[in-house]
């Protein structure tokens, strides 16, 4: 014999799928979300106006003939920017854009190795200094190593540098790219201004092959070559290097690498691509699930079938729970299909409009944060439907319940975007729309809630409304 809860669930499922408005609302959920996703993704464009490769640094060097092993310890490095670079550089002269092999430490991204702005290898991943670096040249091949103590070495890999001459300039280099200072100028407007930074690194235990007759160390301030139409980044003039008892202190600005490598082109304020694929479609689908949730309960009051339901199942709280479970499960399943479809429909359009590798890594459904955003979007729709059902159970009339829900989820956010930052932040953190924070995969300056905190706000509203609906159902007659 089936339990009373099982019978209640089956009864609610039968009622939900037999009502014509259910299929209409679910079809509208899919259609509206996909249509708006297509329109939104085709309307978003990104244009990059900077150089495709960067080669500007403060380079303390001397000529070195033939093959050899170059070792240094980066004793300290100023955290002027997460992608500031300091390390070893083998280069064809001192002109910007000439062939090179480089091995470097960064304050925020560990050890990296690069060649000609086209190839990049990741080292041990340990950020911070002191760090030992070693480059071994053999013809046109350069092999990189890094170490924490100068005794145990980790092999990073080997890169081919076809443009490196027999006698190359070998030395120590420092770069520090500009940082983007972001400022909110409105509820949904963010301005960004690049600001030059100056890096500084202290090198010791410098061990280079002997090069008799080539002279001592020299400093070259390599300036970035900017083509016509490209926007130059701000740079700062470095100080002359200092050397005392084999310890070198070098300051520098600029950057080294190719677009999408070593932080090149990532000035800051990059959009959340996963959220872009989901945001507009899910918000318009909210209208459909609001209608479905409200009508799932108010239609029974309008037709009088609520009395029959409560006669067959006197435990009204059980009926309410069964209705919420069935409604939430159905909307979640359809919402998940819509979210996955939106993700795959929007990505090609965004890629064609400039949001493409290497500057924008391709999002993947294998990434945990992407999975959370996609599945969380479906959960958001399910909770909105259940919230609408709870509001309908409280008000027992479709029109005021739908109006209240539409004002909360549609009208208030629109008004907030056209008023002030304070009111926009209030709506995004203290109303049920905070649940949309679950779509975030990166922290942006205009996001006021973390994903799970925002989702928790929506869950709290659902719990309170369902509790009030239960109190009214059990305390008053139909």
User: Quick check: is 353 in a domain?
Assistant: yes
For residues 436 and 266, which has the higher predicted lDDT (pLDDT)?
Answer: 436
User: Quick check: is 220 in a domain?
Assistant: yes
Cis peptide before 71 (omega within 30 of 0): no
Same domain, 215 and 347: no
**Which of 55-69, 101-115, 271-285, 293-307 comes out lowest in average pLDDT?**
293-307
Q: Count CB neighbours of 207 within 10 A.
A: 11
**pLDDT single digits (tens) 412-426:** 999 988 888 888 889
User: Quick check: is 266 in a domain?
Assistant: no
Task: Identify the pLDDT of residue 317.
Answer: 78
Is 98's pLDDT higher than 80?
yes
* Counted domains in the chain: 2
Same domain, 11 and 57: no
Same domain, 38 and 57: no
In the chain, the N- to C-terminal Cα span, in Å, equals: 29
Mean of pLDDT values over 256-273: 80
Q: What is the signed CA dihedral for 113, 359, 83, 195, rounded to 10 degrees?
A: 150
For residues 304 and 248, which has the higher predicted lDDT (pLDDT)?
Answer: 248
The C-alpha angle 126, 132, 135, rounded to 5 degrees, equals: 110
Could you say which of 235, 258, 281 is where a domain stops? 258
Same domain, 37 and 158: no
Same domain, 245 and 275: no
* CA 117 from centroid of its chain's CA atoms: 24
User: Quick check: is 210 in a domain?
Assistant: yes
**Which of 234-238, 360-364, 422-426, 440-444 comes out lowest in average pLDDT?**
234-238
State the Cα–Cα distance between residues 306 and 314, nearest whole angstrom: 11
DSSP secondary-structure letter at 367?
S
Same domain, 214 and 78: yes
User: Quick check: is 263 in a domain?
Assistant: no
Could you say which of 258, 280, 308 is where a domain stops? 258
Q: Count CB neighbours of 471 within 10 A.
A: 12
Minimal CA–CA distance to 60: which of 20, 80, 89, 83? 89
Minimal CA–CA distance to 252: which of 351, 349, 163, 174? 174
Mean of pLDDT values over 94-101: 94
Beta strands in 176-303 (DSSP E): 179-186, 189-195, 199-207, 218-222, 242-244, 247-252, 256-258
Mean of pLDDT values over 296-312: 73
Confidence of residue 1 (pLDDT cuts 50, 70, 90): very low
Same domain, 39 and 59: no
Asked if residue 260 lies in contact with residue 172, where contact means CB atoms within 8 angstroms, the answer is: no
Task: Identify the pLDDT of residue 48.
Answer: 72
* CA 183 from centroid of its chain's CA atoms: 18
State the Cα–Cα distance between residues 238 and 339, nearest whole angstrom: 50
Give the ranges where 80-123 is alpha helix by DSSP (H): none
Mean of pLDDT values over 37-46: 85
Same domain, 216 and 342: no
State the Cα–Cα distance between residues 16 and 33, nearest whole angstrom: 22
Same domain, 62 and 169: yes
User: Quick check: is 303 in a domain?
Assistant: yes
Is 171's pLDDT higher than 60?
yes
The C-alpha angle 74, 75, 79, rounded to 5 degrees, equals: 80
State the Cα–Cα distance between residues 373 and 277, nearest whole angstrom: 10
Same domain, 229 and 376: no
**Sheet containing 242-244: order of strands:** 153-160, 141-147, 131-138, 68-77, 199-207, 247-252, 242-244
What percentage of residues in the chain have a pLDDT greater than 70?
Answer: 92
Domain that holds residue 62: 53-258
Mean of pLDDT values over 353-371: 87
3-state secondary structure of 377: helix
Most distant CA pair in the chain: distance in Å? 104
Asked if residue 177 lies in contact with residue 84, where contact means CB atoms within 8 angstroms, the answer is: yes
Give the ranges where 19-79 is alpha helix by DSSP (H): 20-43
State the Cα–Cα distance between residues 383 and 455, nearest whole angstrom: 10
Same domain, 441 and 382: yes
**pLDDT single digits (tens) 442-466:** 887 778 899 999 999 999 999 999 9
CATH at residue 156: 2.60.120
* β-bridge mates for residue 159, sequence order: 142
**Which of 75-84, 364-373, 417-426, 449-458 comes out lowest in average pLDDT?**
417-426
Sign of CA dihedral 46, 188, 287, 375: positive
Cis peptide before 421 (omega within 30 of 0): no
Q: What are phi and psi of 60, to 5 degrees?
A: -100, 115
What percentage of residues in the chain have a pLDDT greater than 90?
Answer: 55
Task: Identify the pLDDT of residue 433.
Answer: 95
**Which of 10-14, 27-31, 53-57, 149-153 comes out lowest in average pLDDT?**
10-14
Minimal CA–CA distance to 56: which of 14, 10, 117? 117
Minimal CA–CA distance to 214: which of 150, 170, 183? 170
State the Cα–Cα distance between residues 207 and 136, nearest whole angstrom: 12
Question: pTM of this prediction?
Answer: 0.80
Confidence of residue 300 (pLDDT cuts 50, 70, 90): confident
User: Quick check: is 407 in a domain?
Assistant: yes
Same domain, 141 and 93: yes
Q: What are phi and psi of 356, to 5 degrees?
A: -130, 160
Could you say which of 230, 258, 286 is where a domain stops? 258
User: Quick check: is 265 in a domain?
Assistant: no
Task: Identify the pLDDT of residue 307.
Answer: 66
State the Cα–Cα distance between residues 22 and 283, nearest whole angstrom: 19
């Amino acid at each position: 014999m089936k339990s009373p809860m099982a019978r209640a669930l089956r009864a609610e499922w039968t009622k939900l799928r037999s009502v014509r408005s259910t299929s209409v609302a679910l079809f509208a959920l899919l259609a509206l979300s996909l249509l708006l996703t297509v329109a939104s993704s085709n309307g978003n464009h990104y244009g990059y106006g900077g150089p495709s490769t960067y080669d500007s640094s403060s380079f303390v060097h001397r000529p070195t003939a033939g093959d050899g092993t170059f070792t240094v310890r980066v004793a300290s490095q100023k955290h002027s920017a997460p992608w500031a670079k300091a390390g070893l550089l083998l280069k064809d002269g001192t002109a910007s854009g000439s062939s090179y092999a480089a091995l470097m430490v960064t304050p925020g991204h560990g050890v990296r190795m690069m060649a000609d702005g086209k190839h990049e290898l990741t080292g041990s991943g340990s950020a911070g200094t002191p760090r030992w670096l070693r480059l071994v040249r053999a013809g046109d091949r350069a092999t990189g190593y890094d170490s924490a103590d100068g005794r145990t070495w980790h092999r990073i890999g080997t890169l081919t540098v076809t443009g490196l001459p027999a006698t190359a300039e070998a030395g120590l280099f420092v770069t520090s790219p500009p940082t983007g200072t972001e400022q909110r100028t409105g509820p949904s407007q963010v301005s960004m201004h690049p600001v030059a930074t100056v890096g500084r690194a202290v090198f010791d235990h410098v061990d280079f092959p002997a090069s008799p007759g080539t002279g001592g160390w020299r400093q070259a301030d390599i300036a970035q070559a900017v083509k016509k139409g490209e926007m130059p980044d701000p740079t700062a003039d470095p100080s002359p290097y200092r050397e005392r008892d084999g310890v070198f202190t070098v300051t520098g600005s600029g950057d080294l690498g190719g677009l999408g490598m070593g932080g090149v082109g990532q000035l800051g304020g990059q959009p959340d691509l996963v959220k872009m694929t989901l945001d507009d479609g899910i918000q318009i689908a909210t209208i459909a699930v609001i209608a479905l949730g409200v009508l799932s309960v108010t239609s029974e009051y309008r037709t009088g079938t609520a009395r029959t339901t409560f006669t067959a199942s006197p435990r009204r709280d059980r009926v309410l729970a069964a209705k919420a479970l069935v409604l939430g499960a159905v909307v979640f399943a359809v919402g998940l299909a819509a979210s996955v479809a939106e993700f795959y429909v929007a990505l090609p359009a965004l890629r064609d409009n400039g949001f493409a590798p290497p500057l924008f890594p391709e999002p993947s459904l294998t990434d945990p944060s992407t999975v959370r955003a996609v599945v969380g979007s479906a959960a958001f729709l399910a909770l909105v439907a259940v919230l609408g059902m709870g509001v309908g159970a409280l008000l027992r009339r479709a029109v005021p319940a739908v109006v209240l829900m539409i004002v909360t989820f549609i009208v208030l956010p629109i008004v907030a975007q056209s008023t002030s930052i304070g009111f926009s932040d209030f709506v995004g953190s203290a109303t049920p729309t905070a649940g949309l924070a679950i779509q975030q995969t990166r922290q942006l300056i205009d996001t006021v809630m973390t994903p799970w905190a925002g989702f928790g706000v929506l869950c709290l509203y659902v719990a309170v409304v369902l509790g009030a609906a239960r109190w009214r159902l059990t305390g008053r007659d139909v």
